[in-house]
Chains A and B, each alone.
Chain A
Amino acid sequence: MAHFDTTTNAGQILAAASGGRRRRGDRIFSNTAVIAAVTILALLAGVAVFLLTEGLPALTASASELPNHESFLSYVAPLAFGTALAGVLAMIIAVPLAIAVALFITHIAPPRIAMTLGYLVDLLAAIPSIVYGLWGIFVLGPAAVPVMKWLEEKLGFIPFFKGPASITGRTMLVVGLVLAVMILPIVSAVAREVFSQTPRKLQEGAQALGATRWETIRTTVLPFGRSSVISGAMLGLGRALGETMAVAIILSVSGGVTFNLISQANPSTIAANIALNFPESSGLAINALIATGLVLFAITLATNFVARLIIARSEIK
């Protein structure tokens, strides 16, 4: 950064040496830049403040005034559970695949086609979530029905697959799969970045010792990228937690708390619950939905914060 300051100083000295008109131009321009910066901070503060002011009536209202006549906490708790379940499920499915995709692009695919493959993975991120929702309900869901039936019959002793298996495919498992596809590009982009930055000398050292490609990857690339991959997974989790439309379309909800992934009765997620109920709500119900949005905001904020913390730590090292 040192050279940076010299240029700034040189600019300031020149500006100071050359009359007021120029300095006014500089002042206007730099003030505009500062205003833009402050606007962004204000915007973010605004998100928190407005959600808080609009959510507060529901937070302070008594249980009898709220929709369904239950306290806000017991309203939001199953939703938060559903959100966490869907997000973690998506992460568990997506992270191993994303690591494999990143390794394939950076270390296994021929360099000639690696860039094209990377572009294909990025395409997954460009597809709107509504399209994923339609694909999930019309294509993946029906295709998953026999698989879930099989899971119920063969693995029904595991609580996750207790069943009865859904006959429509509108289950938590399908939601987890769709969310996994949606967050895969983010996780694999982070992993790709760090895998491609593994120091050449480490890899060449391993190869010189006679390591095969997999041994090179296991001993140099994976340890080098571990913390970034973890933070990438957290970023992906943050995405999955806040994803709305795919869940709102696919999941058939009943509200209860259950770990059963393949049945027709699933807990809803915060985001999907807002999307499904907001258009038909009014009065305090709206405030309650905004308050749940605030809870979602806090959860994703915490997740992202942890991710950034991991990144910052690994950068210091």
Chain B
Amino acid sequence: MTPPPADAATLSTRSVLAGEGKRGGTLPSWAPWGALVGALIFCAAVEAALGWFTIALMLVFGALVGIVAIYAWSRAVEGSRRAKDRAITMAIASAFGIAMAPLISLLYEVIKRGAAGLSWEFFTSDARGVVGGGGAAHALVGTLVITGCAVVISVPIGIMAAIYMNEYGRGPLRRALTFFVDVMTGIPSIVAGLFAYALFELFFGPGIQMGIMGSVALTVLMIPIVIRSAEEVLKIVPNHLREASYALGTPKWKTITKVVLPTAFAGLVTGVMLATARIIGETAPLLVTTGVVDSLNANPLSGRMQNLAVYAYNEYRSPGVMKQASYDRAWAAALTLIAIVMILNVIARLVYRRYKTEIR
């Protein structure tokens, strides 16, 4: 702590409170932007002069110089406490920018490179007997079938378990369930795949690969997400709705199916769609369970099944003679996957906004 300035009496209360000290000025409101833009231009100029211009370096150095600049400027005008505040605010904002940079770069690259591999053939034909070409129809179908089966298994179990936790459960079983659902969210996806493999190997012998095995692996990953979101929505259904229903003599199971679930419906659908979006891009568990295959197979109960994520991995890992075409197809598969995930996310949020029950 610095001793109070001799002319403390002349300082206004406000300037003391705001830590302005003796030099009670204030920077103009455009100061942070001005400092940042100035720093960026300065760095761009320096880099151009030195002859190694890259956007990434310019942004990083620009942010650093901007932080120093705003600190020095603010310290001169506003005092050290305000200066520190401004510098750290700008540092945090720049950190946010740095954290968002990968998202922007990734989306840009996926769209740019994926578009090169997209074609009508990509969606309509499989790769059977084609050397260094073909489409990904078999992978697309496989993704939909495997994920569909996983959803069909997970949703009833997950939602019933959430109903149990919220409407019935108490005592040790409920506590155990809460704890172990937490544990389950932490299972690595590859471990889920190994589990499905071990389970089926026990009944069908070694080397077994089927679409449904992938669904079982995905189920392990999906159930905890479904339970979590369903529990969250069931919790906010107000109790007076249940009580009103009981007051009319409705049995509990009808109260749940006719009052609680419809009230929570939009939230439940949204939760399921987000959970689906989370698992539809899983690669590792499917790599060890459903195998790699070139031809279309829509039957989850027999034989290997391709899917988009494994397809992308495989096109990258073992490219054919025409390397670039293979990489293009990997990117196209990645773009398709991202598109599916984004569409699911957007629809989920639209459903929630459009159909959610206003709870007062």
Q: Which residues of A contact B (CB under 8 A)?
A: 3-4, 7-8, 10-12, 14-15, 18, 22-23, 25-26, 28-30, 32-41, 43-44, 46-47, 50-51, 53-54, 96-98, 100-101, 103-105, 108-109, 117, 120-121, 123-124, 126-135, 137-140, 143, 181, 184, 188, 209-210, 212-215, 235, 238-239, 241-245, 248-249, 271, 274-275, 278-279, 282-283, 286, 289-290, 293, 296-297, 300-301, 303-305, 308
Contacts and interface: CB of A to CB of B under 8 A. Distances in A.
Interface string B304-318: 000001001100110
B209 to A, nearest CB: 10
B161 A40 contact: yes
Contact of B56 (A143, A235, A238): A143
Given A11-B255, A300-B188, A37 B309 contact: no
Nearest to A302: B186
Interface string B143-178: 000000000000011101101110111000110110
Given A40-B177, A47-B187, A210 B342 contact: no
Most chain-B CB neighbours within 10 Å: which of A143, A274, A308? A274
A135 B109 contact: yes
Contact of A212 (B16, B18, B186, B201): B18
Contacts of B18: 210, 212
Contacts of B223: 40, 43
A195 to B, nearest CB: 12
A214 B185 CA distance: 35
Given A33-B168, A139-B105, A143-B56, 4 more contacts: A25-B251, A37-B173, A51-B191, A242-B186
Interface of B: 16-19, 56, 81-82, 84-85, 88-89, 91-93, 95-96, 98-100, 102-103, 105-106, 109-110, 113, 156-158, 160-161, 163-165, 167-169, 173-174, 176-177, 179-192, 194-195, 197-199, 201-202, 206-207, 219-220, 223, 227, 239, 242-243, 246, 249-257, 277-278, 280-284, 287-288, 291-292, 309, 312-313, 316-317, 327, 330-331, 334, 337-338, 341-342, 345
Contacts, number: 299
Contacts of A290: 194, 197-198
A100 B96 contact: yes
Contacts of B164: 30, 33-34, 36-37
B99 A97 contact: yes
22 contacts: A7-B246, A11-B252, A12-B252, A14-B246, A29-B252, A30-B252, A33-B167, A36-B164, A43-B220, A47-B187, A51-B195, A108-B89, A126-B277, A128-B282, A128-B341, A130-B313, A214-B84, A241-B188, A279-B292, A293-B194, A297-B191, A305-B183
Which secondary structure dominates chain B's binding surface?
helix
Contact of B309 (A26, A130, A239, A289): A130
Contacts of A41: 176-177, 180
Contacts of B19: 210, 212
Nearest to A98: B99
A30 B257 CA distance: 12
Contacts of B282: 128-129
Nearest 7 pairs of A and B residues by beta carbon: A242-B188, A128-B281, A100-B95, A36-B160, A29-B253, A210-B17, A33-B164
A4 B291 CA distance: 49
A4 B187 contact: no
A133 B314 CA distance: 12
B206 A249 contact: no
B95 A101 contact: yes
A150 B213 CA distance: 47
Contacts of A308: 179, 182
Given A36-B161, A184-B99, A245 B313 contact: yes
A97 B97 CA distance: 10
B250 to A, nearest CB: 8
A108 B239 contact: no
A245 B188 contact: no
B345 A3 contact: no
Given A34-B164, A44-B183, A128 B110 contact: no
Contacts of A40: 157, 161, 177, 180-181, 184, 223, 227
Contact of A44 (B17, B184, B251): B184
B103 A124 contact: yes
B21 to A, nearest CB: 12
Given A26-B251, A279-B288, A126 B246 contact: no
Contacts of A304: 182-183, 185-186
Nearest to A96: B95
